[in-house]
Chains A and B, each alone.
Chain A
Amino acid sequence: MSYKPVIGLEVHVELKTKSKMFCGCSTDYFGKKPNTHVCPTCFGLPGALPTPNKIAIEWCIKIGLSLNCDIPLFSKFDRKNYFYPDLPKGYQISQYDLPFAHNGFVKLKTDENKTIRIRRVHMEEDTGKLIHGIVNGKKASLIDFNRSGVPLVEIVTEPDFESAEQVNEYLQKLQQIIRYLEVSDADMEKGQMRLEPNISLKKSHPEQREEYRDSSSVIRRPQNDIPTYKVEVKNINSFRFVEKAIHYETERQRKILEGGKTPVQETRGWDEKRQITFSQRIKEQEMDYRYFPEADIPPFRWTKSQISRLRSQIPEMPDKKLKRFNDDYSMSGYYSEILTRERKMAEFFEETVKIGKKYNINAKKIANTIINKKIDANSILPAALVQSIIKQSKKTVVDEEELKNIALEVFRKNPKAVDDYKKGKNQVIGFIIGMMKREIKKPVENNQLKEVIENLLKIQ
């Protein structure tokens, strides 16, 4: 019997608004003194009134739109109740049955026609940070609430992934979309993007039908052999670790299933040192969060024009841009891929092309220069790059014959250098180039000189 992984993903993204989700505390908490970015609203103290951050909600909806979601015209916040010290209120303000966005999808490239369905995109608040350690010889947990209340968007997929590779591609894509939208830096190391795969295995039947569309065009999958358990791996902060955790879990669960047992439904963590997942807590019963509508925050009702206004503010997304780059600049997919990886780079390239046109420098030449010279879009202006390309192309006009003569003259004056080179001291070539440059007195490319010298010394 062979088994096939069934994987779903929950991704949390911290938005880069200036202020928190429900109060005016600054979100600039990273590396700051603990408990200095908090107020009565963060703590849910009596009398405090949470008021949602307009920008955060708009960004959440934009993420939903970029993931091809429907935006319900009515939405609200709910309280998710649980007791844990990272949440001083005893509940988290989140969304339950009416999220800001739902029913989206993302298409993957590697597996033709592979579509990952997005179940929901909802808005909530981040929790405080717990530090576990020993204080005065006793185990204790310490809490910093600076992060508590920072806007957090949760993106939940259907269990559509069948391999760690598909998960990885989806995550890269999601991160790229978030960065294009400029709603978060999605820096994994800073915890701005957090990943929680849930993994189980099902029996694999080669004859099983592929996905199909029902009468209302909704993508459906055959429902047989859905696993009766799922294992959630919490808070992984790197794409590589997710891949490793999935590989590890798949193996672990396969062994249990082959032994005729069912893996325990539980939450596990990833231990990077030991390269294993480990049990964090067994879910004896499904957690009961007793969701109910957040009474302090009135609901939201959008008009279609409000949603289309938000849609119109979304920049060209990476997939579209890549296709356009291929078409407009007749570039290879590889070049377009590199140039569209970051929005800033793509815009820098196009701006440079626009200026380059005036000087008859074509897009390919510019793409070549940016990629081969690893140009940093943050450290040079497009016009300056064009100037440097013009200068560069002027450099190579020095006549080859003339260069040869100069080289021979340098050789004659420096027999020791030539000797050293022949003995294998390759670095001496730098000295010879320097001597030649002194004679030429014109800007010339080192590589061209190097070639001339090497050719001559090979003949000698």
Chain B
Amino acid sequence: MRIDISRISKLANLSLSDEEKGKFEKQLDETIEYIDKLKEIDTMTVDPTSQVTGLENITREDEVKPSLPQEKVLSNSKSTHNGLFKVAAILE
């Protein structure tokens, strides 16, 4: 196995049952195996690509634009408190 499923689920912030762990570990391993096929292609002369638009140096001027009103910002949140987002305590 090349997949450490416990570690990956932790990094992705997902809690998995033991059954799920077994299932996904196998699936992810198969995925990697499939992608390994790409190694068969000779890429010596191909540049790594992370951009496809060919654009460069795209910036904006330092100008202020209006932000969203607070009600709108919070409107999709399940729990808020005094204009703040509320989540379960993360530090003891």
Contacts and interface: CB of A to CB of B under 8 A. Distances in A.
B58 A297 contact: yes
Name the 5 nearest CB pairs between A and B, nearest first.
Answer: A24-B65, A293-B50, A139-B89, A54-B59, A298-B55
10 contacts: A19-B62, A24-B66, A25-B65, A132-B89, A135-B86, A142-B84, A143-B87, A293-B51, A298-B55, A300-B57
Counting contact residues on chain A (CB < 8 A from B), the size range is 35 or more
A292 B49 CA distance: 11
A298 B85 contact: no
Contact of A56 (B58, B62, B73, B74): B62
A35 B70 contact: yes
B62 A55 contact: yes
B37 to A, nearest CB: 21
B45 interface: no
B83 A288 contact: no
A52 B84 contact: no
A323 B73 CA distance: 53
Interface stretch (A5-13, A36-44, A371-379): A36-44
A130 interface: yes
A293 B49 CA distance: 9
A183 to B, nearest CB: 12
B13 A83 contact: yes
Interface string B67-92: 11110011000000111111111110
Contact of A51 (B53, B59, B74, B84): B59
Nearest to A88: B85
Contacts of B82: 34, 142
A282 interface: no
A142 B86 contact: yes
Interface string B35-49: 000000000000000
B60 A51 contact: yes
Contacts of A292: 50
Interface string A102-133: 00000000000000000000000000001110
Nearest to A40: B68
Contacts of B13: 83
Contact of B88 (A25, A141, A297): A141
B63 interface: yes
Contact of A24 (B57, B58, B59, B64): B64
Contact of A53 (B57, B59, B66, B90): B59
Contacts of B18: none
A37 B66 CA distance: 8
A53 B62 CA distance: 6
B56 A298 contact: yes
B61 interface: yes
Residue among B13, B62, B66, B87 facing the most chain A CB atoms (10 A cut-off): B62
Interface in A57-116: 57, 76, 81-85
B89 A140 contact: yes
Interface in B1-24: 7, 11-13
A33 B57 CA distance: 34
B47 to A, nearest CB: 12
Contact of B68 (A38, A130, A132): A38
Contact of B91 (A82, A141, A297, A298): A141
A36 B67 contact: yes
A460 B1 CA distance: 103
B62 A35 contact: no
Contacts of B88: 139-141
Contacts of A24: 60, 63-66
A265 interface: no
Contacts of B85: 35, 85, 142-145
A131 B91 CA distance: 10
B81 to A, nearest CB: 5
A291 B88 CA distance: 27
A70 B64 CA distance: 31
B81 A18 contact: no
Contacts of B57: 298, 300-301
Given A38-B68, A142-B87, 10 more contacts: A38-B67, A39-B68, A51-B60, A140-B89, A141-B90, A145-B73, A288-B7, A295-B51, A301-B56, A301-B57
Contacts of A38: 67-68, 73
